[in-house]
Amino acid sequence: MNFFESIKIAAASLWARKTRSALSILGIVVGILTVASLLSVALGVKQKVTTSIESLGSNLVAVVPGKIEKGGTPNFFAQLGASTLTEQDYDAIREAAPEAKNVAMAMLVTGTVRAGDTSLNSAIIFAASPGIEQAFNVRREEGRFLDTVDETQRAHTVVLGAIAAKQLFPAGSALNKTIDIRGEGFTVVGVLEAVVSASGFGGPDVNSFVMMPLRTGWDLTGTKQVFRIMMQASDAESISVLADKVKQTLLGTHRGEEDFSVLTQEDLLGFVNNIFDILTAMLSAIAAISLFVGGIGIMNIMLVSVSERTREIGIRKAVGATRGAILLQFLVESVMLTFLGGIIAIALFIAGIPIAKARVPSLPIELNVQVLLLALGFSALVGIIFGIVPAYRASQKHPIEALRAE
Amino acid sequence: MIRLTNVTKRYQNGDTEFSAVRNVSLVIEQGEFVSILGSSGSGKSTLMHLIGGLDRPTEGSVEIHNKNLAKMSDRALAAYRNHTIGFVFQFFYLLPHASALENVMLPLVYSHRRVNRRARAKKLLTTLGLEKKLSQKPAELSGGEQQRVAIARAIVNVPDIILADEPTGNLDSKTGEYIIEMLAVLHRAGKTVVVVTHDQHLAQRAGHIIHIRDGQIL
């Protein structure tokens, strides 16, 4: 008996027990649907974050306080507390690496932003030296960027991110309006274009920015904190050279103590990949449990089927079926059940994507051929794993005892 | 030729052991029509199972065409059942979800012989007067029709030996007579036919009657 023959027999057998077959694949449909959905969402989120990091700015090199081990997951706690970076570091970098473009330093200012009766708690008050906009690769919607005049005059001027501007001034343009930060008045001189957020991965959420000159920030807080030094390499090839030069320079200013990290976009993408590897592993584990439950259902139904069809097994053996032929027949039945479940699940998944996107527009779920093939492969694998024991039992039945079975 | 030499078949049932067949030796020549006659529990069915390769002897040898079944692998034994033996059972043993035609084709599914299965099965069923029942399921057929389907299945792969276990046991006398006549036809066509029965009348139709009691040949 060849494989094609087994498929024909299995199909006929499953068709003869239509209702039971349909019910038994429900578990697999749910399992495969879970696998496809979770992996697609994980890949979608990863894609989104990767895109946002890539949009941070081309050839970006960032210095952050605290030591972050590359190749692992980022230790965000390393960046908490008082910054280890200083203005001297900034000056040292400018001197040692004149080829670095748009070198800028920045700090965070805590406080609430108000515009009349509207207050904004989610704003990121960012004090930065000129050049930060270019380093972040952001564009103006209206007005101007902060410049050296603002910086030297310690001006009370701000540039707002797109979301911050809209939240503070929902009725119209924010330009030339006055806002209040920590009791002091600031004039809005520019509004940024909305960008894809890269918050959480070394990149700030530019949309929520309320950006003031660095020295104004120092005055406002009474401290001279520097929590980021950003710059751009002249081209992609010189990123690592610049990063290394910056690192060596700062080791000099920090007396050999590496209490800072020089990050490139590649490093950030590496962090993202590591985080998503963990996330994918977790989601895979959840999906595996779901598939396991479905698989147990298949195993159960196949064991019942073998038990009910003992006489059929006896008849087949009496007319010349080998153990291998019986094993193959029941294994093919099991795989056919789960594979069919996989196909139904994928059809439902594909049909469900537009519905899910319509209901939750921000859901980053994408149709990914690799995920679909993986899901189909898993469905077949579940059929083999959970079908092998019933199939083996069937194949081992003694022909006479099988024939005498009721 | 079928040759059994000092064949014993013992079964273990918990702590107790019993011998269904005890030290049996017999020879059945090719083309003979033999009936094995015995009461219920006499060991006649076990004897048939041993000849048919459905079971192996505990002791002794079962040789068919000079090949010892006891020494055959499971795979070789399956091939032997497929090519050399055609079984006809008292309870027909047809696949309930398969049509008459599919039931007759079944041995050919497990055969390496390249034949037009459907055509051969259809021809046989037509010969046996079942041309209008090809797509019927066993439950839709009468007992006599089911047994005719079983006979067609037994001979579809052109075996040398037909083994029938109480082939008329589940049929009325008229239908039983018809089935006996079909077995006689197969015998006349050169097949070795071994019928296991407790029916004296059926046994008389064979040229050679072997009496069995308590697992031993009398």
Which of A2, A311, A315 to probe the B interface (max B CBs under 10 A)? A315
The pTM is what? Answer: 0.72
Contact state of A400 with B49 under an 8 Å Cβ cutoff: yes
Residue A196, pLDDT > 70, answer no
Half-sphere exposure (CA, 13 Å, Cβ side) for A118? 15
Contact state of B157 with A321 under an 8 Å Cβ cutoff: no
Q: Which residue of A has its CA nearest to B112?
A: A1
Q: What is the mean pLDDT of residues A227-256?
A: 87
pLDDT digits (tens, 9 = 90+) for B25-61: 999 999 999 999 998 889 999 999 999 999 999 999 9
Q: Which two tokens stand for residue B48?
A: 């048939």
Check residue B4 and give its pLDDT: 93
The number of helix segments (H) and strand segments (E) in chain B equals 7, 10
Check residue A72 and give its pLDDT: 55
User: Which among B79, B97, B110 is the nearest to A16, CB-wise?
Assistant: B97
Residue B89: list chain A partners with CB under 8 A: 403
Q: Name the minimum distance, in Å, from the CA of B70 to any CA of chain A.
A: 15
Residue A322: list chain B partners with CB under 8 A: 74-75, 78-79, 110
Q: Which residue of A has its CA nearest to B73?
A: A322
Low-confidence ranges of chain B (pLDDT < 70): none
Signed CA dihedral, A118, A121, A122, A127: sign only: positive
Q: Name the minimum distance, in Å, from the CA of B101 to any CA of chain A.
A: 14
Residue A202, pLDDT > 70, answer no
Q: Which two tokens stand for residue A255?
A: 């007396």
Contact state of B107 with A319 under an 8 Å Cβ cutoff: yes
Q: What is the mean pLDDT of residues A98-119?
A: 87
Alpha-carbon distance of B185 to A98, in angstroms, equals 108
Amino acid type, A36: A
Residue A75, pLDDT > 70, answer no
Alpha-carbon distance of A119 to A181, in angstroms, equals 10
Contact state of B93 with A1 under an 8 Å Cβ cutoff: no
Residue B83: list chain A partners with CB under 8 A: 320
Residue A204, pLDDT > 80, answer no
Check residue A73 and give its pLDDT: 56
Residue B75: list chain A partners with CB under 8 A: 322-324
Residue A106, pLDDT > 80, answer yes
Q: Which residue of B has its CA nearest to A16?
A: B97
Q: How far is CA B190 from CA A376, B95, B163, in A?
A: 54, 28, 14
Q: Name the minimum distance, in Å, from the CA of A7 to any CA of chain B.
A: 12
Residue pair A327/A353 in contact by the 8 Å Cβ criterion: no
CA angle A264, A270, A271 (to 5 degrees): 95
The residue ranking higher by pLDDT, B121 or A140, is: B121
Alpha-carbon distance of B77 to B10, in angstroms, equals 20
Alpha-carbon distance of A316 to A44, in angstroms, equals 50
Task: Give kind and range of the element (H or E) at residue A326.
Answer: helix A323-359
Edge-to-edge, what's the strand order for the sheet holding B192-197?
B85-89, B161-165, B192-197, B33-37, B208-213, B216-217
User: Which among A314, A319, A323 is the nearest to B74, CB-wise?
Assistant: A323
Q: Which two tokens stand for residue A248?
A: 């060596």
Q: What is the bridge-based pairing of β-strands A118-120 and A113-115?
A: antiparallel
* Domain regions of chain B by residue span: 31-53+73-217
Q: SS3 for chain A, per residue?
A: CCHHHHHHHHHHHHHHCHHHHHHHHHHHHHHHHHHHHHHHHHHHHHHHHHHHHHCCCCCEEEEEECCCCCCCCCCHHHHCCCCCECHHHHHHHHHHCCCCEEEEEEEEECCCEEECCEEECCCEEEEECCCHHHHHCCCEEEECCCCHHHHHCCCCEEEECHHHHHHHCCCCCCCCCEEEECCEEEEEEEEECCCCCCCCCCCCCHHHEEEEEHHHHHHHHCCCCECEEEEECCCHHHHHHHHHHHHHHHHHHCCCCCCEEEEEHHHHHHHHHHHHHHHHHHHHHHHHHHHHHHHHHHHHHHHHHHHHCHHHHHHHHHCCCCHHHHHHHHHHHHHHHHHHHHHHHHHHHHHHHHHHHHHCCCCCCCCCHHHHHHHHHHHHHHHHHHHHHHHHHHHCCCHHHHHHCC
Average pLDDT over all residues of chain A:
85
- This model of the complex carries an ipTM of 0.94
pLDDT digits (tens, 9 = 90+) for B110-126: 998 888 999 999 999 99
Contact state of B74 with A316 under an 8 Å Cβ cutoff: no
CA angle B161, B166, B170 (to 5 degrees): 130
Size of interface A-B (CB pairs under 8 A): 64
Which option is the CATH number for B31-53+73-217: 3.40.630.30, 3.40.50.300, 3.40.50.1010, 3.30.420.40? 3.40.50.300
Reduced to 3 states (helix: H, G, I; strand: E, B; else coil), residue B34 is strand
User: Which among A312, A322, A400 is the nearest to B55, CB-wise?
Assistant: A400
Q: Which two tokens stand for residue A403?
A: 């024939």
Cβ neighbours, 10 Å, residue A221: 17
Alpha-carbon distance of A28 to A34, in angstroms, equals 10
